[in-house]
Chains A and B, each alone.
Chain A
Amino acid sequence: MTNRIYMDNHATTPMDERVLDAMLPYFREKFGNAGSRNHAFGWEAEAAVDHAREQVAALVGAKPKEIIFTSGATESDNLAIKGVVEFYREKGNHIITAPTEHKAILDTCKALERKGLAEVTYLPVDATGLIDLDDLRKAITDKTILISIMHANNEIGTIQPMHEIGKIAKERGVLFHSDATQGVGKLPLDVEAMGIDLMSFSGHKIYGPKGIGGLYVRARNPRVRLSPMIDGGGQERGMRSGTLNVPSVVGLGRACEICHEEMEGENERLLRLREKLRQGMMGELDEVYLNGHPLQRLPGNLNLSFAFVEGESLLMGLKDIAVSSGSACTSATLEPSYVLKALGVGDELAHTSIRFGLGRFNTDDDVERVAARVVAEVRRLREMSPLYEMAKEGIDLKSFNWARD
């Protein structure tokens, strides 16, 4: 067990012990329902929830009452988009987003399109994954009610120009939602400075528990309204009914607090480790390509395509190392990464892509071991690869006549 290395921190993160410690009392003696207004069990749970709201709000520059707790970023994304579309349906039905968004956004948009409840514009992205601000300006119509652009991409790490998007949204009177799941707690975020009106995030990406997330909903300038997706007891200002998952709320709060305190130092460390990892592989191998923006990128993210070596076979060789791949073979649907496709990365390079996600608990030793193993396995698999052989012989793989599959 101890020999395993976890380097897939965009998929999920290990719980920070400090977060677990903060949560445990709320499983044990402090088990009250935060909605029980008439006794101490309820009051102490409520106090814990209030405190967590403050911790979360402090991290993103919001007011505590602007934080709604949900079951995770997927629910937050659904609530933000469907809630806005329904509430503001008299105003318009046009949404602007991008093809590199998480499925929680894309599928939600598709569902609304199918039901005839929204029209969606998908802004193109450039080869590094950035949207073009002029494209955004031109796409806005008098029916546009929501722009949804993620802060930092989970596959390629590219960070979008949030301040500029917020400014355009404000100028045109359109709400700006951001799925900030990968960025919250890792990059400085300020909903005021960035002009963000709605923001989704999740506990398990920031060393907190799974099954908890949040949605920031702006209360002033403008006051954002939502139709709730879940009806019931009216919790969370009527926007999300259901008894709060108090232990997880506490965990999320503590996780945010730790991120807030340690962000700067952690980012420096992650950037150094990431570059060490990158050099450890790109310095030893030829035909390795970086996917995503080289600079405007999550510090812990590295997404590389190793030409001529298919991703799943490489993952198999990295037995005790957890990373992920954009290869079709690794997806349940046998489709290669749609994010890489949107960047214009050809299918053959998409199949060779590996995503490394460094996090709080990765060490120099991890990085050295992973780099060495990747280099060794890529070399071994290239010896077994007909494409590498053909490339070395000078055959142009693009113009080769491939037999029907």
Chain B
Amino acid sequence: MAYSDKVLDHYENPRNVGSFDKNAPDVGTGIVGAPECGDVMKLQLKISDEGVIEDARFKTFGCGSAIASSSYVTELVKGKTIDYAYAIKNTHIVEELSLPPVKIHCSVLAEDAIKAAVSDWRRRKGLEAEKDSNVG
């Protein structure tokens, strides 16, 4: 199974690796996955009071496709609103990175990570949770 060029690119030159202070009021943090599954993604978003994502950081324990999915997603959401981010579908990630069927679950995890980060920010701002019941 050869990797797509885009996956390789994200793996070798990952965008936005790092962390924000999870206690900062403008940061939303989503941690999804589990070590037993071999996939853990931590995604953090710096969000303005108006709900615009100003910056993003990620850290991932997982295969090349998982790393690429989370790296790509941090690029995708910068400058966008949280509504846009919350609506990102994993299929978009699959297409962009040319993920084979066996790696689709990596893109699903990245979608979950975004939702978790947005929900975290909303919760900490005292806002109501999104209607989407996908994320706990």
Contacts and interface: CB of A to CB of B under 8 A. Distances in A.
Contacts of B60: 384-386
Contacts of A332: 102
Given A386-B31, A402-B31, A405-B34, A313 B19 contact: no
B52 interface: no
Contacts of A348: 35-36, 38
Interface stretch (B61-69, B91-99, B124-132): B61-69
Given A309-B61, A312-B64, A316-B3, A386 B41 contact: yes
A344 interface: no
A317 B12 CA distance: 8
A384 B35 contact: no
B38 A327 contact: yes
B64 A336 contact: no
Most buried by A among B8, B34, B38, B64: B38
A317 B38 CA distance: 17
A308 interface: yes
Interface string B57-85: 00111111011000000000000000000
B61 A387 contact: yes
A310 B34 contact: no
Contacts, number: 91
Contact of B35 (A311, A329, A397): A397
A347 B44 CA distance: 26
A328 B61 contact: no
B63 A310 contact: yes
B51 interface: no
B53 interface: no
A82 interface: no
Interface string A336-351: 1000000000111001
Contacts of B112: 403, 405
Nearest to B14: A384
A309 B35 CA distance: 10
B38 A351 contact: yes
A405 B42 contact: no
B38 A329 contact: yes
A320 interface: no
Contacts of A309: 61
Give the interface size bracket for A toward B: 20 to 34
B61 A404 contact: no
A403 B136 contact: yes
A330 B42 CA distance: 22
Contacts of B114: none
B56 interface: no
Contacts of B41: 386
B45 interface: no
A405 B35 contact: no
Contacts of A308: 61
Interface in A214-254: none
B55 interface: no
A310 B116 CA distance: 22
Contacts of B34: 402, 405
Given A386-B31, A387-B35, A313 B62 contact: yes
Contacts of A389: 19, 42, 59
Interface string A380-405: 00011111110000000100001111
A347 B36 contact: yes
B33 A385 contact: no
A313 B35 contact: no
A278 B61 CA distance: 23
A337 to B, nearest CB: 11
A295 interface: no
B11 A347 contact: no
Contacts of A310: 38-39, 61-63, 66
B17 A383 contact: yes
Given A334-B102, A403-B136, A385 B38 contact: no
Interface in B15-34: 17, 19, 30-34
Contact of B33 (A384, A397, A402): A402
Contacts of A317: 11
Interface string A43-55: 0000000000000
Given A313-B63, A348-B36, 17 more contacts: A310-B39, A316-B3, A316-B8, A327-B38, A327-B63, A346-B36, A347-B35, A384-B67, A385-B60, A386-B61, A387-B35, A402-B34, A402-B35, A403-B136, A405-B37, A405-B39, A405-B112
Shortest 4 CB-CB distances between A and B: which pairs? Answer: A348-B35, A351-B38, A386-B42, A312-B63
21 contacts: A310-B39, A310-B63, A312-B63, A313-B11, A313-B67, A316-B11, A328-B38, A332-B102, A346-B36, A351-B35, A383-B17, A384-B67, A385-B59, A385-B60, A386-B40, A386-B41, A387-B61, A403-B112, A403-B116, A405-B34, A405-B37
